Amino acid sequence: MYKKKKKKLVRWLATAMSLSIMLSVVDPVGATSVSDLEKQKQEIEEKKKEADAKKKEEQQRYNNASGKANAIQSDVDEVAEEIEEIDAALVETIASVEMIEEEIEEKEEQIEVTKADLEDAKRVEREQYEAMKLRIQFMYEKGNSSYLELLLASESMADMLNKTEYVEKLYEYDRQLLAQYQAAREAVEALQEKLEEEMAELEAQQHELMEEKESLEIILNEKKATYDNFEAQLAKARQEAAIYKANIKRQNDEIKKLEAQAANKQSEIEEAKRAEEEARRAQELALQREAEERERREKEASGGSSSDSSDKSSSSGDSSSSSDKSSGKEYASASSYSGSGSKGQQIANYACQYIGNPYVPGGTSLTEGADCSGFVWRVYKDFGYSLPRTSYSLRSSGTGVSYSEAQPGDIMCYAGHVGIYIGNGQIVHASTQRSGIKITPATYKEILAVRRIL
């Protein structure tokens, strides 16, 4: 009996030693356990979350900088157009000034000629007047005797009448000639006065044009300064956008690196789990064989018979799968609005279904995000209309109407912004990154133009 107990004790000791050896194989000294690997993976996942958060921050900054650059670009385009208009007006004014100066030179020459003619007319008038006075003075100084002698010297009555008539004609001739010279002088004086008046008008026009030229030059210099300032702001905004874009690239590289590390760590975890599972199965198999061997020996030692018995256990786990079906907001197509009022009302109704969707600088998606001009462009595109892509170009599209004549579907144009009029003094537009697509009173800021496309 003692020997049997001793044999059992030896067998149990052998089993314990085998179990200890297998455990040392499963978890050797210095090996990393599955829990440690999962902890390392969790740390990698936390770093990846931080990198994702930083990437989102940089993306937001990039979007803001891009939006700012687009807005400044709109201002630059607008100021450039104003500079062209002012420059054209300045060129026209300078040309007008030059023409006025040429006309002034011509008038000055005409005035000089007229002054010379006037002096000649005055001189001839004075000479004729002096000659007439001498003749009249001579006749009257001779007195009646001379006149009588002239008559008595006549050979006949007819001769005397002829001489009398001659004296009267001579006087009448002098008087008429003097009157003609006086009329000529008066005509020349009138012409001189007219030329001087025209000269005064030209000088006044020249003064006004010079003032206009100076004013346009001041405005042009101011616009050029504004343009240079916008250019500097635009360069700064683009530089900031480039920096944020580079930061986003670095964050993407970091995220990819962490994702690769997480994937490698997951492979290590799965490999460690397989190794543990194989070791557990080997351990179970060794214990089962040890138990069978022990029972066989006990049976041989006792000489009895026993039937082999083994408990088999199987486990099955029910697996269930579920799928979350998420459905986003559904939107009606543009064609489904046909027949619901005028074409402009259809466009307004169609645009309003996207209220609440995001504002994305440079975007043209009605669902994923669009900027102001991208929103208008896409809405009209869905109805088959081809419009310019920028808010500045939309200001010259279609036909201009007054705000009092505005109808649903008309495009409301502001400084660097556009929206679609929906009636009742309201517009729907992609407002800002903070508010997205929304409805706003049409007069929330100064309206520059109302354009009708339909």
Separation between Cα atoms, residue 284 and residue 19, nearest integer Å:
10
Is residue 83 within 8 A of residue 228, CB to CB? The reply is no
Single-letter code of the amino acid located at 430: A
Separation between Cα atoms, residue 371 and residue 18, nearest integer Å:
73
Handedness of CA 73, 77, 82, 83 (dihedral sign): positive
Smallest CA-to-CA distance from 212 within 101, 93, 99 is with: 93
Single-letter code of the amino acid located at 364: T
Is residue 354 within 8 A of residue 367, CB to CB? The reply is yes
Q: Which residues pair with 427 in a beta bridge?
A: 421, 440
Containing 145, the helix (H) or strand (E) segment is: helix 34-152
Handedness of CA 211, 212, 216, 219 (dihedral sign): positive
Separation between Cα atoms, residue 392 and residue 413, nearest integer Å:
8
Is 372 designated active site?
Answer: yes
Q: Which two tokens stand for residue 350?
A: 């169609």
Give one DSSP letter per residue of 260-301, joined into a string: HHHHHHHHHHHHHHHHHHHHHHHHHHHHHHHHHHHHHHHHHH
Q: Which two tokens stand for residue 242?
A: 């480039």
Is 207 designated active site?
Answer: no
Catalytic residue among 207, 352, 413, 417: 417
DSSP state of 342: S
Is 413 designated active site?
Answer: no
Is residue 255 within 8 A of residue 53, CB to CB? The reply is no
Is residue 47 within 8 A of residue 244, CB to CB? The reply is no
Enumerate residues 6+ apart whose C-beta is below 8 A from 165: none
Catalytic site positions: 372, 417, 429
